[in-house]
Chain A
Amino acid sequence: MDNVFVEKEIYCHWIGVFSGRELDMNRLSTEEGYSDLDEKCSRIFVKDIMRTRPVTIKGDDSVERVLEVFNENQFHTYPVVEKNGSFLGIIDQNIILQLLLTHRVSRLDHTHLMAVKSLSESARGIMIPHPVTIPPEMDLCEVAEIMLKHKVDRFCVVDNDKLVGIICKPDVIKAIYSIRG
């Protein structure tokens, strides 16, 4: 957990407030001449609007530590990474709720996999391995389309197997709203 960066209020929000991104926002504001939203949208990339230092969980963190992270923060999903930053998977609120209330989940979910997860001692054991990720170069139109079409609320942004950020639906909505003028 040494790389953890906690910012409850602004996490998964439009993050133009960070100095590293003000440049991008300025670029956007100078591009008012674009008449077509699609075209504007295709010129903005995930790396421009993603959150770069998300709260992360280490693969070897104990389940107790993971529960603490969920208790201390209010986010839906946390990326799980190796010590060197390599992306491993995600842990979301559904997994935590299932772990905390194993007795109450549907009998259909009393599977071998669920049982193994409930006995796991580390984050690696309970995470969802290899979820869908997106590259930082993906444009805003495409990520919005995937979110809409496949009902995905957030993506981890991965470059060369390393986690470089996270992007959520509100980030995308605010970005589109902003360029819409």
Chain B
Amino acid sequence: MEFLFQILIILLSARVLSEVSERAGMPGILGEILAGIFLGMTVLENTDTISSVAELGVIFLLFIAGYKEVHIEDLKASSKKAIVATVFQILIAFISGFGLGYLFGLGNLESLVLAVAFSPTSIGVTVKTLLDMNYLSSKAGSMMLSSAIFDDIISIFLVSIVSTMAQHNAIPSSMQFLTMIGKLVVFIGVMFLLSHYVFSRLFGYVRKMHSRESIFATVILIALFAAYFAEAMGLHAVIGAFVGGVLLSNISVAKIEDVQSKVSGLAYGMLTPVFFVDIGMSVDPTSLGAAGIFTVLIVVFGLLGKLVGGFVGAKTVGFNFYESLIFGAGVMPRAEVTLVTISIGREMGIIGEEIFSAVVLLAAVSIFVAPILLKFAIQKDKENKNSASG
């Protein structure tokens, strides 16, 4: 009974505040996190059951990212310039995170989680602004899109490294590091072979099964299998889910529109809101105040790391000042992968309440600030180009 009430109240408040957030021009996850903070402060306490549903939420968040959003072919079409700019923006964000941790005397592993949490970009926030400003097809806009593919893959790779390190509870030796990379390669290789020789044939049989929702059920089973198999290999479940999603996206029967819509419904309608609410419920507003200057610096370094990294990267490949500023501002938003990283860090006991809450605040602020800065940079770029041509 208590569980039913908890899920009811979580899904209801997540849906209401997500709608409010969307109508205010912000992404829905901001509303879901706020719902979690509100519920955590008032009526709900975090229970094991909520955490388990939230864990399914994070697995399906990454699974659906691979299943619906990643198009491996796009990697081939991406330019070398985009690779250079991406490496710069990720590297500088990473260094700013690690450096901040080091400055405040955090342990290596704690600093590493902070560094990895600083590294990803949530391109969805940027795309909306670029569309509104009619700048998606601009030089900076196009490069941002190419950069986003590399960003996703590098960030998920970093998450897999940090989650594996967390299991050892220490920075690994070079041998452990190589073993970890080897496990990742073996995992991807086995999954690729399974997808090519087993899953594709399996769906041929499943399509003919008499039981209801056989294809949908198989997609879900493979998502869970990939997550479990990754864990069994000593990697994190979310990496498995992401790889499973990417591989399933190439099997046509698994991507029938009706099945995609059901998988989306399960993920976005039920599981991922619980994950984001759970993130919000885990935020401790009092720890934000207690951490004081550290919280402020996490937000500032988090924003500047991406802005400066993106700016320098774009400058390096020949962009002008405002185009580089557009690129830097466009890669600032953090959302899903950053939150996944800190939730893994917290779950494994690497980071404390202060860092966790401060990074959630960073994600919220970045979602709010990036579009404003991006609009300003685009406006200036337009003025600059107009004055140059006229």
Residues of chain A whose beta carbon lies under 8 Å from any beta carbon of chain B = 102-103, 107-108, 110-116, 118-119, 129-133, 142, 146, 150-152
Contact = CB atoms under 8 A, between A and B. Distances in A.
Interface in B68-90: 68-71, 73-74
A133 B207 CA distance: 13
Interface of B: 22, 27-28, 68-71, 73-74, 123-124, 127-128, 130-132, 136-137, 142, 145, 148-149, 152, 207-208, 215, 250, 252-253, 255-259, 268
B69 A110 contact: no
A129 B175 CA distance: 41
Contacts of B131: 102-103, 110, 115, 118
B28 A113 contact: no
B210 to A, nearest CB: 9
A111 B131 CA distance: 12
Contacts of A111: 68-69, 123-124, 127
A138 to B, nearest CB: 11
A86 to B, nearest CB: 15
Contact of A151 (B27, B74, B258): B258
A102 B124 CA distance: 13
B170 to A, nearest CB: 35
Given A115-B136, A132-B256, A108 B127 contact: no
Contacts, number: 73
Nearest to A89: B252
Contact of A115 (B145, B255, B258): B145
B136 A118 contact: yes
B123 A112 contact: yes
Contacts of A113: 68-71, 74
Given A131-B252, A146-B207, A150-B215, A116 B123 contact: no
Contacts of A133: 252
Nearest to B268: A108
B341 to A, nearest CB: 19
Contacts of B258: 150-152
Contacts of B255: 131-132
6 contacts: A107-B28, A112-B74, A112-B124, A112-B149, A119-B142, A142-B208
Contacts of A150: 207, 215, 256, 258-259
Contact of B128 (A107, A129, A152): A107
B215 A132 contact: no
A119 B137 contact: yes
Contacts of B207: 146, 150
A108 B268 CA distance: 9
A131 to B, nearest CB: 6
- Majority secondary structure of chain B interface residues (helix, strand, loop or mixed): helix
Given A112-B152, A113-B69, A152-B256, 4 more contacts: A111-B124, A112-B69, A130-B252, A146-B207
Nearest to A131: B252
A107 B71 contact: no
Contacts of B124: 107-108, 110-112
Nearest to A132: B252
Residue of B27, B149, B256 most packed against chain A (CB within 10 A): B256
A110 B137 CA distance: 14
Contacts of A110: 124, 127-128, 131
A60 B128 CA distance: 28
B253 A112 contact: no
B162 to A, nearest CB: 23
A179 B12 CA distance: 51
Nearest to B261: A151
Contacts of A108: 28, 124, 268
Nearest to A110: B127
A102 B22 CA distance: 16
A83 to B, nearest CB: 20
B132 A112 contact: no
Nearest to B26: A107
Contacts of A132: 252-253, 255-256
B23 to A, nearest CB: 11
> 5 closest A-B pairs (Cβ-Cβ)?
A151-B258, A110-B127, A132-B252, A112-B148, A115-B127
Contacts of A103: 131-132
Contacts of A118: 131, 136
Contacts of B28: 107-108
B250 A130 contact: yes
A108 B122 CA distance: 12
Contacts of B259: 150
Task: Determine which residue in B22, B124, B208 has the highest number of CB atoms from chain A within 10 A of its CB, and name it.
Answer: B124
Nearest to B215: A150
Nearest to A92: B257
A151 B149 CA distance: 32
A112 B215 contact: no
A111 B145 CA distance: 10
Nearest to A124: B73
A139 B237 CA distance: 42
A116 B249 CA distance: 17
Contacts of A119: 136-137, 142, 145
